[in-house]
Structure 1
């Protein structure tokens, strides 16, 4: 009879290299998306030779790349053919909640260089993006539509997975809803389609609202190009979805002041954002640092969100945890005057 041996402990050096190889995995997937390899696999398994010919790539190198994506469970091999796994299909253009445009963004200088200069953020507490790219993040996207449009498309794709968020809140008591910084209006469209009596307002920057998706709603919706730092339209319900985490406490104070001015006495403010809570998960803490180095923002705990609201003359009424599986673990924070 043999006694099972205890697996040897992984040396710390090996664990470290397991972590840091993540950057190579990202850039590998970026290259396979950019060259169209994954799109060529959308209809079914393909051989390396077929993929190399279709995408004009070096066959032996592509074989080695797909060998790695198979180890990462992005692709699967059956004989001489490779197919996308469920994880790999999330990188296709037309998959609901597609990561295609997001991954293309992650491979650009606008994503990579700020992280390469995180030491600047460590030293100053300020955005490395502004330091190395020469303009604040959203200004840069407005000036560079070749990045701004894919960013908008990525955000819209993520919003397609947000049905649990919309289902978690009762919109029926309200007559008007304004999505403040609501992007191209994907989330607002979902709400208006599910609540026929509601009228909607979308406000965001001109380069964003120009690509809105609300055209089929007729006179039920108004689209406003403008800055929420300067003006927020009045509505019974104001929504700030994935907005406050973009900004410092000081800039959030300005946004919330504009919202307070726009709220009627019985109105509500619905904030949809992460709320950090122990035990902390690595992905939420990544986004906390990412918001800091990219834009100067942060993820907040419930206590920090409550304090932010109180300083703006608003009170937190409740926190709603959505059921289902939204793409990101967001919470709905309801506030009022």
Structure 2
């Protein structure tokens, strides 16, 4: 065996290290350990007892994270390192990519063989997506709403996930009511003026627009990362009809989507391009979601009889790739199509 083998082995195993570490960080959050030890150094025995965890296994898990410098473990006392504390704001990315899509990555070969779509944990995908949105899509939608002629009376969030995105928007003003629609929506809301419906977006919009209720011309419909789902699962015509129906129901529709540019070296060699968008693009090849280009969406909006009132991208201090795009749509000529 040549002397360079061990060095090459170490390099070759770095993706395995990353795989294990991503799982470890996700479970540091999901187990409740992160919040528990964020308050300061504590006994592993006490922490394990409080969280109903096996103490010996918890100690071994924390030793693993200590070797990666996310916690310190001195005797029976555990504490977060500065590096560990720095993880807090980025929890949603782990909830989405590791929690929501862990099973997806296990099915790559199966899907490559044409055996249908890969599965995912829809509940965790919704939680992670809403958490990430607090940094990118939520401020983006607020900017789009600033382009409205007036503050909407109501917001219908189609594909609301765990509802936190909509709750933040409704909470911005005490006079706006909200309805969140999602198969994984909360069963009930504890906030006044906020209701949830467990339903698919197309069924909800179709049934609502077909009802006798008067359209809310001063309302806003929201479709954040939703059209990509409908495009793959129900086809282009279903997306066109959803846009038309949403605009018949409300005066405006806000859409957030990700521009599909996986072969563009300008963005794919960007740090966030490799760290986030490269796996994000891969996941969308495997699951029932279809990303499309900015031009594709703008052409589809015209086909649906919608005008783009404004187009915005995420604050470059959060994401400077320009890949996440928001559109504020209205009906062409102010009439239903």
Q: TM-score, normalization: structure 2?
A: 0.68
- From the superposition, tell whether residues 97 and 265 of structure 1 become closer, same or farther in structure 2 (CA, over 3 Å): same
Alignment equivalent of 1:291, drawn from 280, 284, 301: 284
- From the superposition, tell whether residues 202 and 80 of structure 1 become closer, same or farther in structure 2 (CA, over 3 Å): closer
Matched, 1:194 2:162: no
The CA distance in 1 between the partners of 2:293 and 2:42, in whole Å, is: 47
| Residue in 2 that maps onto 1:134 | none
Matched, 1:273 2:257: yes
Aligned residue runs from structure 1 range 81-230, under 5 A: 82-85=78-81, 88-89=84-85, 98-99=91-92, 102=95, 106=98, 111-124=101-114, 126-129=116-119, 148=123, 153-161=127-135, 163-169=138-144, 170=146, 171=148, 173=150, 174-205=152-183, 207-213=184-190, 215-217=191-193, 221=194, 223-230=196-203
- From the superposition, tell whether residues 256 and 45 of structure 1 become closer, same or farther in structure 2 (CA, over 3 Å): farther
- From the superposition, tell whether residues 266 and 51 of structure 1 become closer, same or farther in structure 2 (CA, over 3 Å): closer
- From the superposition, tell whether residues 264 and 289 of structure 1 become closer, same or farther in structure 2 (CA, over 3 Å): same
Q: TM-score, normalization: structure 1?
A: 0.68
The CA distance in 1 between the partners of 2:48 and 2:197, in whole Å, is: 47
Paired residues of 1:256 and 1:309 also in contact (CA < 8 A) = yes
Paired residues of 2:231 and 2:239 also in contact (CA < 8 A) = no
- From the superposition, tell whether residues 23 and 266 of structure 1 become closer, same or farther in structure 2 (CA, over 3 Å): closer
Deviations 1:254-284 (A, max 9, x none): 1441231231499322112322454221211
Paired residues of 2:70 and 2:81 also in contact (CA < 8 A) = yes
How many residue pairs were aligned? 298
Alignment equivalent of 2:55, drawn from 54, 57, 61: 57
Alignment equivalent of 2:326, drawn from 327, 332, 335: 332
Deviations 1:116-136 (A, max 9, x none): 22123223384122xxxxxxx
Alignment equivalent of 1:28, drawn from 24, 27, 34: 24
- From the superposition, tell whether residues 111 and 155 of structure 1 become closer, same or farther in structure 2 (CA, over 3 Å): closer
SS in structure 2 at match of 1:259: helix
Unmatched 5+ stretches in structure 1: 1-7, 130-136, 142-147
Query: Quick check: 271-280 or 79-88, which moved more?
Result: 79-88
The CA distance in 2 between the partners of 1:85 and 1:331, in whole Å, is: 36
